[in-house]
C-alpha cells in the first residue's frame, strides 16, 4: 500500500511543530511505505527542505482564511500528487479539520480526529470534570469573568496563583497587581473567561497516546521532562512507568471514546501521591517521536486504524530511555525555495 500522508507543523524551529516527528514515525513503519506530503504555511519552514523525511511539500493558505480556499488546496494536492490521509498537528488547524472531516473523507482524504464534543474537553474550565472522571485531580481553579471575581478568586486561592486563558497562555502571578495585569493581558488577547488556578508543586510528567474512537488505546508512553527551553519545550526527557498516570490516560480513552492523538500534561506530587491534570492537548506533542523511538509507533497505528490495516498492539515499553532533541544544519540550492515561492510546491 503506497499511501500519501499529509502532515502539517513541519516547522522544526526553536518552538518546534510536531510534524517532523510524526513524519519520521510514519516513515519508520516500512509496511506502510508511505510518502509524506508536507503541508506548510511558509516557504521557510525547515521541513520543506528535509527531503529525506518529507517527500513533497506544499504551501497552504492559513486555516483562519476562507475555508473553501483551504479545502480546495487539499483537493488540488490530492489530484496532482495524491493525498490519502491528513494528520493535522497544529492547534490553529484543528477546528477546520474537525468541521470538515466528513466532507474530506467523501472527497477521498481521510483523517483520524476527535469529535467536536471530545475536542471541547481540552477547554481548561472543563478539566476538573475530566480529571474526576478519569480518577485524578486538578489544581483548585476558579473561572473568572470580571475584576471583582478575580480579586475574590485570588483571596480564595492565595498567592502565588496561575492566571490562564481557556485555551492558551499560563502566567504565574506573585501579587494581586500581577494577577490583574495578566488577567488584562489574557482578556485582550483571548477574551473571557480567565482561569485562576492554585499553584501545585511536583514533577512535570506527560503522556502521549491515541485512542481508536471505540475506547481502545493505539499506544501510549509516559515521560518526565528533564530539560525544557525558555519556551517550555521539552529538549530532553526520560520515559517512566507510572501506572497511575498511564491508567488515567487509558480511562480518558475509555470514558470519552477519544479518537486520535492526544497529550496529557500533568504535575505529579510524589509526596502526597497526587496527579494533577494541567492540560489536554488534542493532538500530537512536538516530542511524539519519543514513543516511536522506544518501540511504540502511535502515529503509524493511527494510519493503520484509519485504513483498516492490522493495528499493532503495544503492551509495554522500557523506562529510563532518554529523549534528546538537537539542532542541526544543512545547505541546499535555491531551487527549492524558488519553487515554493513561485509554484507553492516542490
Partner 1 sequence: MNRLHQLAINDEGFIFDPLTGENFTVNRTGLFIINRLKEGKKEEEILQELIDEFNVSREVAERDLIDFLEKLKSYRII
Ligand X SMILES: Nc1ncnc2c1ncn2[C@@H]1O[C@H](COP(=O)(O)OP(=O)(O)O)[C@@H](O)[C@H]1O
For ligand X, the binding residues (CB under 6 A) are: 139, 162, 164, 168-170, 197-200, 204, 232, 265, 267, 278-279
| Residue closer to partner 1 (CB basis): 187 or 222 | 222
**Cis amide leading into 85 (omega within 30):** no
Name, in order, each residue with C-beta under 8 angstroms of 98's C-beta and a sequence gap of 6 or more.
Answer: 113, 114, 115, 116, 119
In whole angstroms, how close is the CB of 209 to ligand X at the nearest point? 17
Q: Which of 198, 279, 319, 339 binds Mg ion (CB under 5 A)?
A: 279
| Residue closer to ligand X (CB basis): 109 or 150 | 150
Query: Which residue from 2, 3, 1, 6 is spatially nearest to 345, judged by alpha carbons?
Result: 6
Beta strand residue intervals within the chain, DSSP E: 4-8, 35-40, 56-59, 85-87, 141-144, 161-165, 170-173, 194-198, 203-212, 217-228, 234-240, 259-269, 274-281, 322-324
Name the binder of 83 from partner 1, Mg ion, ligand X, none, CB < 5-8 A by kind. Answer: none
Name, in order, each residue with C-beta under 8 angstroms of 13's C-beta and a sequence gap of 6 or more.
Answer: 45, 46
| Residue closer to Mg ion (CB basis): 269 or 279 | 279
Residue sitting closest to Mg ion (CB): 279
Q: Are 312 and 290 in contact (CB under 8 A)?
A: no
Using CB under 8 A as the criterion, which residues of the chain lie in contact with partner 1 when the complex forms? 203, 205, 223-224, 226, 238-242, 268, 270-271, 273, 319-320
φ, ψ of residue 10 to 5 degrees: the values are: -95, 25
In whole angstroms, how close is the CB of 201 to ligand X at the nearest point? 7
| Residue closer to Mg ion (CB basis): 49 or 258 | 258
Residue sitting closest to ligand X (CB): 170
Host H or E run for residue 299: helix 298-306
d(CA 318, CA 338): 45
Name the binder of 310 from ligand X, Mg ion, partner 1, none, CB < 5-8 A by kind. Answer: none
d(CA 182, CA 232): 18
Name the binder of 203 from Mg ion, ligand X, partner 1, none, CB < 5-8 A by kind. Answer: partner 1
Name the binder of 224 from Mg ion, ligand X, partner 1, none, CB < 5-8 A by kind. Answer: partner 1
Site for Mg ion in 252-271 (CB under 5 A): 265
In whole angstroms, how close is the CB of 47 to ligand X at the nearest point? 23
Contacts with Mg ion by CB under 5 A lie at 265, 279
Amino acid at each position: 500500500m503506497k499511501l500519501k500522508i499529509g502532515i502539517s507543523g513541519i516547522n522544526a524551529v526553536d518552538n518546534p511543530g510536531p510534524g517532523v516527528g510524526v513524519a519520521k514515525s510514519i516513515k519508520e513503519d516500512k509496511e506502510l511505505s508511505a510518502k509524506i506530503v508536507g503541508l506548510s504555511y511558509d516557504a521557510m519552514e525547515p521541513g520543506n527542505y528535509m527531503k529525506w523525511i518529507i517527500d513533497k511539500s506544499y504551501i497552504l493558505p492559513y486555516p483562519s482564511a476562507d475555508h473553501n480556499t483551504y479545502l480546495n488546496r487539499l483537493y488540488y494536492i490530492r489530484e496532482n500528487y495524491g493525498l490519502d490521509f491528513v494528520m493535522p498537528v497544529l492547534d490553529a488547524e484543528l477546528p477546520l479539520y474537525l468541521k470538515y472531516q466528513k466532507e474530506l473523507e467523501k472527497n477521498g482524504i481521510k483523517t483520524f480526529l476527535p469529535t467536536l464534543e471530545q475536542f471541547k474537553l481540552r477547554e481548561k474550565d472543563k478539566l476538573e470534570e475530566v480529571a474526576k472522571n478519569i480518577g485524578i485531580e486538578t489544581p483548585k481553579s476558579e473561572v473568572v469573568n470580571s475584576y471583582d471575581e478575580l480579586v475574590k478568586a485570588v483571596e480564595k486561592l492565595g498567592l502565588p496563583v496561575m492566571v490562564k486563558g481557556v485555551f492558551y497562555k499560563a502566567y504565574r502571578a506573585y501579587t494581586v497587581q500581577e494577577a490583574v495585569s495578566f488577567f488584562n493581558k489574557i482578556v485582550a488577547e483571548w477574551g473571557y473567561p480567565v482561569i485562576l488556578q492554585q499553584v501545585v508543586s511536583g514533577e512535570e510528567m506527560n503522556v502521549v497516546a491515541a485512542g481508536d474512537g471505540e475506547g481502545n488505546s493505539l499506544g501510549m508512553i509516559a515521560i518526565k521532562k528533564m530539560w525544557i527551553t525558555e519556551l517550555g519545550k521539552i529538549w530532553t526527557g526520560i520515559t517512566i512507568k507510572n501506572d497511575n498516570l498511564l491508567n488515567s490516560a487509558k480511562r480518558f480513552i475509555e470514558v470519552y471514546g477519544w479518537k486520535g492523538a492526544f497529550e496529557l500534561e500533568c504535575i505529579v506530587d510524589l509526596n502526597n501521591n497526587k496527579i494533577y491534570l494541567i492540560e489536554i492537548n488534542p493532538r500530537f506533542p512536538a516530542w511524539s517521536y519519543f514513543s516511536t523511538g522506544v518501540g511504540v509507533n502511535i502515529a503509524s497505528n493511527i494510519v493503520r486504524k484509519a485504513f483498516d490495516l492490522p493495528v499493532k498492539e503495544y503492551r509495554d515499553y522500557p523506562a529510563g530511555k532518554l529523549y534528546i532533541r538537537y539542532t542541526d544544519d544543512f545547505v541546499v540550492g535555491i531551487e527549492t525555495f524558488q519553487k515554493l515561492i513561485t509554484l507553492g510546491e516542490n
